[in-house]
Chains A and B, each alone.
Chain A
């Protein structure tokens, strides 16, 4: 019965890619050949190596002659930090609120649902703009703000899952055994909902990267001299015909990472479910 689960090819590539990204994020200062702010105005917009460029700038250089490769490594670091941090916050906050709503019912539930509806009816970009305008910008604040992205979906999902679990026997059976509600929620309902929440998180993750890119593009996200994938796409946009590598390299990283996260998420969901073994 215990069939050995094999990793299929897409999952293998996806996890290798994610490992590579994590490695780059961790080792960015060590592997970056240039300082990310070092300009070389005589060597502006030089193409990547293999496309007529030199090995000095492996992925080419940007409009100020800064090394795209170095900036890319640091951008991956910033963006991954923001996206992972924010996804974790979004899922944890959403799940907690959803479970609270499902547990308390009555007035508390109505209040939390109202909160969810308010968040769902406000465009997130507007909220983010207002918050950033009020509180200024710093990385921890920005991560926290991004964490607000999508919590209402996760909260709705978690509440629905908790209600469904309550209607199924095992939650009631555990209550009947005399378990504290905390135990029921953390040891039974959470593991049973984890698969769905995990998939929701893998959807939230690339969206947060995109929102971060959007805000950075508007100049309200990551502030220079720091750089992120969004900042790079934003500045690269102006040079898309003359120097497409400025835009393409961060874009490819965004797309591949988003796909890799959802592939690995799917794999983990199946892996976490003992009934699918």
Chain B
């Protein structure tokens, strides 16, 4: 069952000076389509600045799409900061990367976890206390953490608190924006496994945004690879990682460390990702692509289906 569906969603930000008619637009997210099913995880990977986080915010309705539709449980999202939108927050929650910033440092962990319950008027005082306690245990913390303040916890513990807070109103969709990027590798593994366990237990749909292919592969059923605001490859997690089709995905996958023996065929990507304000002509990836041909420089490839649940946006793959 499809929980969340993005249909050709775009988001542009105005930049430059609006007074002298020099206003131009930065397209952060360009015609992105993806879906998250109930109980499954869709991973979004890409370099910094490729529009991953904006996609997550669009999915939650924290930002309005300039074009396209965001459907949550088959209904279009209400405009941000309206009553319906606020009520909907209960069903969809965000897990943050910067946990110290996301938690109000003047509130205790117990109050922080109880806050979504208070906001959505769930239960009474006693049942909220019980729920907070259940959530603390569910994310691997204990009762004594309830009276502590965020700065008294470690990064991994804080991430657990953020997770507990997101789970408090029993959402059906979780958007995880780089939830483990700020953590040590060993703690990353704990949090990721916790997430997977909780998903199985609660049947959550998760949109998992990360730049770390290893983590995304571990948690995801489906993977969306983004480059410069566009989806360049989409498919089942194992097929995308094991048989990447798009040259960009191939480069990303080749940069994943493997045990034992390090990198197999490391394909270094020359240069920096281009600025979204100066979008290259044709395929946005062609200046860095070692296979680029004339057609890549002139026309933009479309995201074409290629086998079941597989879509790739590359001239060389669709008509070699």
List chain A positions with a Cβ less than 8 A from chain B: 1, 168-170, 172-181, 183, 188, 191-192, 273-275
* Contacting pair A275 B101 (CB below 8 A): no
> B115 to A174, Cβ gap below 8 A?
yes
Give the distance in Å from the alpha carbon of A168 to the alpha carbon of B102 in the complex: 7
CB distance from A193 to the nearest CB of B (A): 11
A149–B288 CA distance with the chains assembled, in angstroms? 62
B102 & A170 in contact (Cβ 8 Å cutoff): yes
Write 6 A-B pairs (CB below 8 A) sorted by A numbering. Answer: A173-B103, A175-B62, A177-B169, A181-B81, A191-B104, A275-B105
B96 close to A (CB within 8 Å): yes
Of the candidates B89, B103, B104, B165, which one forms a contact with A178 in the assembled complex, judged by CB atoms under 8 Å apart?
B89
For A180, the closest partner residue in chain B by CB is B86
Partner of A192, one of B88, B89, B93, B106: B106
* A176, B152: Cβ atoms closer than 8 Å: no
Q: Decide: A177 and B119 in contact? CB cutoff 8 A.
A: yes
Give 8 nearest A-B pairs by CB, closest first. A178-B89, A169-B101, A169-B102, A173-B102, A178-B86, A170-B104, A177-B116, A274-B149
Q: Bound state CA distance, A168 and B101, in angstroms?
A: 6
| A176 with B89, Cβ < 8 A, contacts A181-B81, A275-B105 known | yes
Whether B104 lies near A183 (C-beta < 8 A) is: no
- B79 CB to closest chain A CB (Å) equals 14
**B contacts, CB < 8 Å to A:** 60, 62, 81, 85-90, 93-94, 96, 98, 101-106, 115-116, 119-120, 148-149, 151-152, 165, 169
B98 contacts A176, CB within 8 Å? no
Q: Is the CB of A177 within 8 A of B96?
A: no
Residues of B within 8 A of A178 (CB): 85-90, 116, 119-120, 169
Q: Is the interface of A mostly helix, strand, loop or mixed?
A: helix
Count of chain A to chain B residue pairs whose CB atoms are closer than 8 Å in the complex: 66
Q: Is the CB of B62 within 8 A of A176?
A: yes
CA distance A208 to B60 in the complex (A): 48
Cα A1 to Cα B115 in complex, Å, equals 24
Partner of A274, one of B86, B89, B93, B105: B105
Q: Which one of B106, B119, B120 has the highest number of Cβ atoms from chain A below 10 Å of its Cβ?
A: B106
Chain B residues within 8 Å of A275, by CB: 105, 149, 151
Interfacial chain B residues near A183, Cβ < 8 Å: 119
Cβ contacts under 8 Å, A169 to chain B = 96, 98, 101-103
Closest chain B residue to A167, Cβ basis: B101
Beyond A1-B148, A177-B169, list 4 extra A-B contacts (CB 8 Å): A175-B62, A176-B62, A180-B86, A188-B104
Cα separation A180 to B98 with both chains bound (whole Å): 23
Which residue on B lies nearest to A168, using beta carbons? B101
A174 shortest CB reach to chain B, Å: 7
From B62, which residue of chain A is reached at the shortest CB distance? A176
Judge whether B94 and A176 touch: CB under 8 Å.
yes
Q: Which one of A176, A179, A191 has the highest number of Cβ atoms from chain B below 10 Å of its Cβ?
A: A176
Q: A66 vs B16: C-alpha distance in the bound complex, in angstroms? A: 71
Q: For B94, list chain A residues within 8 Å (CB).
A: 173, 176
Q: In the complex, how many angstroms separate the beta carbon of B56 from the nearest chain A beta carbon?
A: 11
For B115, the chain A residues whose CB sits under 8 A away are 174, 177, 179
Closest chain-B Cβ to A93's Cβ sits at a distance in Å of 24
* Docked CA distance A273–B150 (Å): 13
Residues on B with beta carbons closer than 8 Å to the beta carbon of A188: 104
Centre residue among A172, A177, A192 by max chain B CB count within 10 A: A177
The CA of A191 and the CA of B111, in the complex, are separated in Å by: 14
Set of chain A residues within 8 Å of B60, measured between Cβ atoms: 176
- Which residues of A are found within 8 Å of B88, using beta-carbon distances? 178
Which listed residue, B98, B106, B149, touches A191 by the CB 8 Å rule?
Answer: B106
Q: CA A178 – CA B101 in complex, angstroms?
A: 18
Q: Out of B105, B119, B148, B149, name the residue touching A179 (CB < 8 Å).
A: B119
A191–B89 Cα gap in the complex (Å)? 24
Bound-complex Cα distance A179 to B85 (A): 10
The answer on a CB contact under 8 Å between B105 and A176 is no
With a CB–CB cut-off of 8 A, which chain B residues contact A173?
Answer: 94, 96, 102-103
Q: Considering the chains assembled together, what is the distance between the CA atoms of A148 and B105 in angstroms?
A: 32
Query: What is the CB-to-nearest-CB distance from A234 to chain B, in angstroms, rounded to a whole number?
Result: 44
In the bound complex, what is the Cα–Cα distance between A176 and B146 (angstroms)?
Answer: 22
The distance in angstroms between the C-alpha atoms of A175 and B149, with both chains bound, is 20
B106 cross-chain contacts in A, Cβ below 8 A: 191-192, 273-274
Say how far B225's CB is from chain A's closest CB, in angstroms: 26
User: Which chain A residues lie closer than 8 Å to B116 at the CB level?
Assistant: 177-178
A1 to B144, CA, bound (A): 13
- Name the B residues within 8 Å of A175 (CB-CB): 62, 81
A274 to B151, CA, bound (A): 9
B103: nearest chain-A partner, CB-CB: A170
